[in-house]
Structure 1
Amino acid sequence: MRAMTYPEYGTPDTLQLDDVPVPKVGPGTVLIRVERAAVNPVDWKVMAGGLDMMLDAVFPVIPGWDVAGTVEATGPDTPEFRVGDRVAAYARKEVVHGGTYAEYVAVPAESAAIVPDEVDMDTAASLPLAGGTALRALEMVELKQDDTLLIHGASGGVGHIAAQLAVDYGVSVIGTASPGNHDRLREMGVTPVAYGEGLEDRVRSIAPGGVTAVVDFVGGVVDQSLALLGETGGSRMVSIADDTVEDHGGRWVWVRPDGGRLHCLLEKVVEGAVSVHIDRVFPLEGAAEALEISKAGEANGKLVIDATR
């Protein structure tokens, strides 16, 4: 099969289009014919060796953790899937090796979810990691309908999904973003504020008593968050970008592959409660360019790889 691979840790320009074996289909796994793979910042971070202290790598590595496609084959004990099913998955595994920038990928059945007919493959592929992280963060902060929630990075890949989920839940949401993204946040039902110095004053002009919960998708905002939480303290502060929140009673969150949670997110798309903005779609051999754009922070929405091209 065709796949983008890299032979050792490095930069996106070391990616090359290779012909590699189709993955084996073991017990409890499904083989997905990849239609779309979404690009996430973690892809180039893993490629640079940034997670080597956590995950072993077996080279050559095929990058990518997000996928949408159709079931090509099923292993033993996978009664929930049939050949031809439209599926999506967060395809992170215990070893960095067989990712989603390829024509096929094998994933554990519990990581996958059926994609409803109403959801296009670009959206389905863009949702697993970003959407799962957003949902996990809101669960960990124990969101309540009478909360005033501050989302740091509310217009980013994870933040804009978390904002939509929180608004759908009925929460009052204040979101930090650059001024160019404020109109988009308003359209989602979020009250936007600018980043940077003076954030506490800007938030208190909207919520004089401060906020009751904080979800951080950017990092470096612990002190500002604690000041706005007041007596609530760090116990209702969650971050995916700054593990020092744990020093203040907060939670540092990673998301696990979970087909059940992904199914819930896909249903939210069907309901119209969640949408994903797609910036650009690249052919498989354009994966290096997509990673460079992601690394440079130049994407305005999700970058998607079309593995059929």
Structure 2
Amino acid sequence: MSKAYAFTRNGGPEVEAFVDRETPQPGAGELLVAVRAAGVNPVDWKVREGSPRFGAPKLPQVFGNEVAGVVATVGEGVLGFAVGDAVFGNPLTGGYAEYTLLAAAVAAHKPDDLSFTVAATLPVAAATAYDGVRQLGLAPGATLLVTGVGGGVGAAAAQIARAEGVRVVGVASAGKKEFVESLGAVPVASGPGFADRVRAVAPDGADALFDLVGGDVLREAASLVADPSKVITAADAGTATELGGAAVDRARTSAVLDAVADLARKGTLDPHVSRTFPLEQAGDALRAVEDGHAQGKIVIEVGA
């Protein structure tokens, strides 16, 4: 048996609980991983709430969609991984746990000079940012508008785009101004009228939008982009499509994980882990993201 943090039905924080479950056993093409760190993302609580976007979960469902850890058992047919290897990726059986499974085909080796804590921030937030910036294909000197730039995906997108010579205008709460500046982005305070504030620093608007908020914010921000095909979102695919844009096209490959790990190793990408929590405080870690005020990434640290 092993410990995991799960939700037992759809709802709010009251449906969360620690559960003892049989330690997952790897099938063909899978790795059993002793988790060392798990990233916390907004999708975690949105799935718990029962958003139809994510379908009906099998209950109880363990939280967490990105982990780093050590291979404990190798499933049949797996090549390129061995017991004791440090790895990271998207778990098949939840990340807020002592043990989980990874699909070997889309897992990656953790570089020795990258901590488990940093590696655990890469499979969702950094990989989504990387895929989105690739999808937009902006040339150096172009202007990218990022809404929700203060979160994990936004911070990574800003840094990746800046490294490619793209000017980034980032929308976030006024309290995150210094943080946004540290990403190399031009800060714009969120809230009513933010589009006017964007125009003040980018009179010609933006060449592209990477949205991480959705809804009315996405609609208002999209009005600043002349080409609707350069509007992408990781928050509200329906609205983006309605406006002529699209959802971020996720590659979900080990090659992308290797690429973002290399950016992190070089210092090009800093996930800005603002707080860490032990597994025993997984609920507190999730609240830190769910209240909407988290800056950068929150990580749950597990085991040795």
TM-score by length of 1: 0.90
Q: State the identity as a percent.
A: 37
The answer to which of 105-114 and 203-212 deviates more is 203-212
Query: In the aligned structure 2, how far is the partner of 1:205 from the partner of 1:10?
Result: 41
State the shift of 1:164 in Å. 0.3
**Secondary structure at the counterpart of residue 23 of structure 1:** coil
Contact in 2 for aligned 1:13/1:288 (Cα 8 Å): no
Which letter does structure 2 place at the counterpart of 1:64? G
Q: How many angstroms apart in 2 are the aligned matches of 1:280 and 1:222?
A: 28
Range 38-47 or range 293-302, more displaced: 293-302
- Paired residues of 2:8 and 2:17 also in contact (CA < 8 A): no
Q: Which amino acid aligns with 2:46?
A: K
* Cα deviation 1:126-160 (Å, max 9, x = unaligned): 22111111112212222222311111122222100
Answer yes or no: is 1:17 the counterpart of 2:47: no
| Aligned match of 1:154 | 149
Runs of at least 5 residues in structure 2 that lack an aligned partner in the other structure: none
| Alpha-carbon distance in 2 for matches of 1:26, 1:142 | 38
Per the TM alignment, residue 210 of structure 1 is displaced from its structure 2 partner at its CA by 1.9
* AA aligned opposite 2:129: A
The reply to whether residue 289 of structure 1 matches residue 290 of structure 2 is no
Describe the shift of the 1:6–1:142 C-alpha distance in structure 2 as closer, same or farther (beyond 3 A).
Answer: same
Give RMSD over aligned pairs. Answer: 2.0
- Secondary structure of 1:135's counterpart equals helix
CA positional deviation for 1:202: 2.6
Question: Which of 178, 194, 213 is the aligned partner of 2:208?
Answer: 213
Q: Tell me: CA distance 1:23–1:150, structure 2 relative to 1, closer, same or farther (3 Å).
A: same
Which position in structure 1 is the counterpart of 2:186? 191
Q: Once the 2 structures are TM-superposed, how far is the Cα of residue 56 of structure 1 from its aligned partner? A: 4.0
Give the distance between the partners of 1:60 and 1:227, measured in 2 at CA: 42
Comparing 241-250 and 152-161, the one that deviates more:
241-250
C-alpha change, 1:188 and 1:57, in structure 2 (3 Å) is: closer
| 1:262 Cα deviation after fit | 1.2
Matches within 5 A, 1:1-309: 1-51=2-52, 54-91=54-91, 93=92, 98-219=93-214, 220-230=216-226, 233-242=227-236, 243-253=238-248, 255=250, 257-308=252-303
Task: Spell out, residue by residue over 1:10-66, the C-alpha distance to the aligned partner (whole angstroms, 9 max, x if none).
Answer: 333333333211111111111111011111111112122224x64342222221111
Instruction: Tell me the number of residue pairs that the alignment of Structure 1 and Structure 2 aligns.
Output: 301
Distance change (3 Å), C-alpha of 1:222 and 1:19: closer
Q: Distance in 1 between matches of 2:28 and 2:240?
A: 39
Query: Aligned partners of 1:34 and 1:65: how far apart in 2?
Result: 12
- Scaled by the length of structure 2, what TM-score is found? 0.91
1:107 is paired with a residue of what secondary structure?
strand
Moved more, 182-191 or 194-203: 194-203
